[in-house]
Chains A and B, each alone.
Chain A
Amino acid sequence: MTSQPPDAAKLLPVALSTLRKGESAVVVGVRDDHEDLGDEVRSTLAQRLLELGFIPGEVLEVVGAIWPGADPIAVRLGRSLFALRRREAAAVMVSPATAGAR
């Protein structure tokens, strides 16, 4: 699950923030170089996401979104449900292909 499949064209990781409501994906990793966030936030956010369970191999699903703008979103990760804004979600890289959505 953690190794990259050879045919990367369709399976390139995307940010969680690009998923729509109802879509599932597998976590690939957490970025701590995301530009939308300030310096102090960036590293603590990445670590907190890992602590909450956004670790490679975990399956997540976007179960809700507030309109307009679909922000914040609600993400189910195992037995937990988290609310996060698109900007935070942009730090989580996922591989949507595995779930077959889209």
Chain B
Amino acid sequence: MSSAVAASELRLALVGVPNCGKTALFNRLTGGHQKVANYAGVTVERKEGRFTGRSGRTYRILDLPGAYSLTPTSLDEAITRDAVLGRLAGEMPPEIVVCVVDATNLRLNLRLVLEIRRLGVPMVVALNMSDVARARGFRLDLRKLEAELGIPVVETVAVSSGGAHALIERLEQQVQPAARGPVDYREPTSEDVLDTQREARRILTLVDYYEPPRQRLLQRLDAIVMHPVLGTLVLGALLFTIFQAVFSWAALPMDLIDAGISAVGDALHDGLPAGPLRSLLVDGVIAGAGSVLVFLPQILILFLFILALEESGYLPRAAYLLDRVMGSVGLSGRAFIPLLSSFACAIPGIMATRTIPNVRDRMATIMIAPLMTCSARLPVYALLIGAFIPAQQVGWFNLQGLVLFTLYVAGVVAALVVALVLKRTALKASYHPLLLELPEYHWPSPRNLAIGLWERARIFLRRVGTIILALMIVLWFLSSYPAAPADATMPPIYYSFAGYIGRGLEVLLAPIGFNWQISIALVPGLAAREVAVGALGTVYSLSASDEAVAATLTPMIASTWSLATALALLAWYVFAPQCLSTLAVVKRETASWRYPVAMAAYLFGLAYAGAFVTYRVALALGG
């Protein structure tokens, strides 16, 4: 690869403290042209993008993880240090470091600039959020700052179009630096850090830096949001609103997608001759993958909220509020953000645990991450709740929303208990500090939200189009062959491979109320939770006496399952590790089989116990 790099390509690395707007600037520079992967050997997210300048020169730009310092206290910070020093295996050292600085908090940001300047690497300082700084009354002499630092300083506004213009122009003037090897680097002592801080203060005085007092409105907002009681109420209300929105806002687009899928299915059904091909396309591909695709709106709404909360600066405040609760089960407040991400998907959540510096805290957080109700469970929950729970109002609330909320709470409570047990036994750890920056509030930028959502949608659609589609076809095959005998009295699927597996599992799952159709659906559902819905669709549309594929799954299960069975299946899904990708990520993150195996064992155990108790109690109560 390296030999193919033309002279007109420049490798940049974006460096900056967390919350400096670095990723927004990266989005501004590269637009949608970015590639998200991992650094070799570790699971720190690697974001690379490219753009072309007016001169035709291509810039390859790496968005390094946020770091307060080159002396790392987390895996993220270690990656950033190694990348800047040119020590990172499998990475070319950056030719120019773009140090992104929050113009509204130079006191915190300038030290890192000086630390990197000392390395002697060619660099440019991007004074980001300079519009906000100006509007809020910050003053500083840019020319003097540039002269004092001896490196180019440009103003950027990551959230407005053309906001990176000055930076790009500056980079265009930059000549291609000569190739360099790893930088000679010595870890600073506390005394060195203090010296750098004094130097930063000296420069700030010299450049007539003026910080206005903080806005009263923001102070008042913090007085509420960070209040032990009021803040907790705000957090609870926020979470509740999210879950209600996921159900009510998504209804219309979901109906539209559903109608579209039915129309395609019908058209194929009418247009193709009866036979294996029509059955594969209509019953396998359209009915299977389509029933998962319909949940895209809900997943996007959930991610919209998480991304907006993340960008606004609220999430670390929630971590502060919850540190005490998390601490009481032995976790750090920092575990809150990975766990919150796990509500969308356990995989990014587990990957986000790398910001937890203590290994045992991190392992405990990984182990409970799958108990957070991920969006892949939503299709299953939505199907069962839609079929069995009446949509009536209970006071201010919708009963369906309340049941959904209860399922989320059940997962959280289970997670707290498991964490407590783990931290008292296998993962006992020595004390680890909490030192969390609570950044200034910012309005989330619609463009950044859109880019974030697009990334999520792409990942989800890729899953639907690849793993899920492939499993649907395998399942369709298992469900269709061998064909039923001529004198069959049961639906054809009963005689298929899937029927054999399902009937075998049913022996094990009957005590918790599952019939053989559910048992069959759980098998492909192991690959990904939402697959179970598609699998049920396939199982039921194939086992229907006529070819009424268009008939939706909801009335079908509502008339054939008992309420106790539905509730038991909901309880099963609160716990069961029905997601091989999660287990694979745990294996990769922990670099051992111990954790994924232990995770699968304890989660299946909990799932069986939870479903058993739910089923028996519901039966006893007349369900």
A interface vs B, CB < 8 Å?
Answer: 30, 32, 36-38, 41, 43-53, 55, 63-67, 69, 71-72, 74, 76, 78-85, 87-88
Contact = CB atoms under 8 A, between A and B. Distances in A.
B190 interface: yes
Contacts of B69: 47-48, 51
Contacts of B323: 66, 72, 83, 85
User: Would you list the 9 A-B pairs with minimal beta carbon distance, nearest first?
Assistant: A83-B320, A81-B438, A83-B436, A78-B107, A50-B193, A38-B430, A79-B105, A88-B433, A51-B69
28 contacts: A47-B71, A47-B188, A47-B190, A48-B435, A49-B435, A50-B190, A51-B193, A52-B68, A52-B108, A52-B435, A53-B107, A55-B194, A55-B197, A63-B226, A64-B223, A64-B226, A65-B228, A66-B228, A67-B228, A72-B434, A79-B105, A80-B437, A82-B435, A82-B437, A83-B434, A83-B435, A84-B436, A85-B433
A45 B433 contact: yes
A12 to B, nearest CB: 22
Contacts of B197: 50-51, 53, 55
Given A82-B436, A83-B434, A48 B73 contact: yes
Nearest to B316: A83
B68 A38 contact: no
B325 to A, nearest CB: 9
B368 interface: no
Contacts of A32: 190
Contacts of A51: 68-69, 71, 111, 193, 197
A38 B432 CA distance: 8
Contacts, number: 121
B70 to A, nearest CB: 10
A71 B323 CA distance: 9
B431 interface: yes
A64 B221 CA distance: 12
Interface in B41-69: 68-69
Contacts of A55: 194, 197-198
A71 B324 contact: yes
Contact of A78 (B108, B436, B438): B108
Contacts of A49: 435
B306 to A, nearest CB: 20
Contacts of B104: 79
A37 to B, nearest CB: 6
- Chain A contact residues: helix, strand, loop or mixed: mixed
Contacts of B226: 63-64, 74
B134 interface: no
B81 to A, nearest CB: 13
B190 A83 contact: no
B321 interface: yes
A52 B436 CA distance: 10
B9 interface: no
A35 to B, nearest CB: 11
Given A47-B71, A50-B197, A51-B111, A81 B431 contact: no
A6 to B, nearest CB: 25
Interface in B66-103: 68-69, 71, 73
Given A72-B320, A83-B323, A85-B323, A52 B71 contact: no
B442 interface: no
Given A53-B197, A66-B321, A85-B434, A48 B68 contact: yes
A17 to B, nearest CB: 12
B214 A79 contact: yes
Contacts of B411: none
Contacts of A76: 214
A80 B323 CA distance: 19
A75 to B, nearest CB: 10
A41 B327 CA distance: 17
A46 B430 CA distance: 18
B227 interface: yes
Nearest to B193: A50
A66 B320 contact: yes
B431 A41 contact: yes
Nearest to A36: B431
Given A64-B223, A76-B214, A78-B108, 15 more contacts: A38-B431, A48-B68, A48-B435, A51-B111, A52-B68, A53-B108, A55-B197, A64-B227, A66-B324, A74-B226, A74-B438, A79-B107, A80-B108, A83-B434, A85-B327
A3 to B, nearest CB: 15
A80 B107 contact: yes
A72 B324 contact: yes
A66 to B, nearest CB: 5
Nearest to A30: B190
B172 interface: no
Contacts of A84: 433-436
B193 A72 contact: no
Nearest to A81: B438
Contacts of A82: 435-438
B437 to A, nearest CB: 6
A74 B320 contact: yes
Contacts of B440: 79, 81
